A and B are shown apart, each in its own frame.
Chain A
């Protein structure tokens, strides 16, 4: 099993450009999450999904959109990138039953200039 994979691993964008980050998991997990990690701030939840076709806002959703058309995939979109979105992005997934441990992807380092 590949676990949780993220594409791409690195990306540089200019302000105003758009892009989509892809997260895929092969563990048949119901729940999927997108986080951003900034120095000194831990992981902050952007959006999450509790099942195919459903999404919900997390702590810092502004400037991002998500879609979960298939159970195994969770896409994070930036419509108009801003320098404040420079960060490392992590995708995670978990089962819908206890103990709810999350499995993380390797992260995507995004720089917006």
Chain B
């Protein structure tokens, strides 16, 4: 069965600095999809970034980028120029290939941004 592991329950970063959140997963599939979601105190889950496994290029979205290491089954999220609004829970999620329907979520990393 697929699993997603976020080994950092909590991280802190100074405003304007860079922080990296770790995520590892286990799967026997070659085609799959990976996501990072942000959950601020409002509780709303917001998609931050996604990565298709067949794409070798790492996804980027403004200040957010990923380091996707398929062989190592690692999918880390880098936040550059951290802002106070980045403070939230961050969840890593895995979805299998077409024909499967379930998403597996990690337990989350709470990110604190220090002014």
Q: Which of B65-73, B77-85, B101-109 contacts A (4 or more CB under 8 A)?
A: B101-109
Chain A: number of interface residues, binned into ranges? 20 to 34
A79 within 8 A of B: no
Residues of B contacting A: mostly: strand
Q: Report the number of A-B residue pairs with Cβ-Cβ less than 8 Å.
A: 53
Neighbouring B residues of A43 by C-beta, 8 Å: 91, 103, 105
B52 within 8 A of A: yes
A74 within 8 A of B: no
Instruction: Among B35, B44, B105, B106, point to the contact of A101 (Cβ < 8 A).
Output: B35
Given A98-B33, A101-B35, 17 other A-B residues pairs in contact with their CB atoms under 8 A: A31-B101, A40-B107, A41-B107, A48-B101, A56-B101, A58-B102, A90-B45, A99-B33, A100-B33, A100-B95, A102-B35, A103-B47, A104-B44, A104-B45, A104-B46, A106-B42, A106-B43
Sorted nearest first, the 7 A-B pairs with minimum C-beta distance are A104-B45, A42-B105, A43-B105, A42-B107, A107-B43, A101-B47, A100-B95
B62 within 8 A of A: no
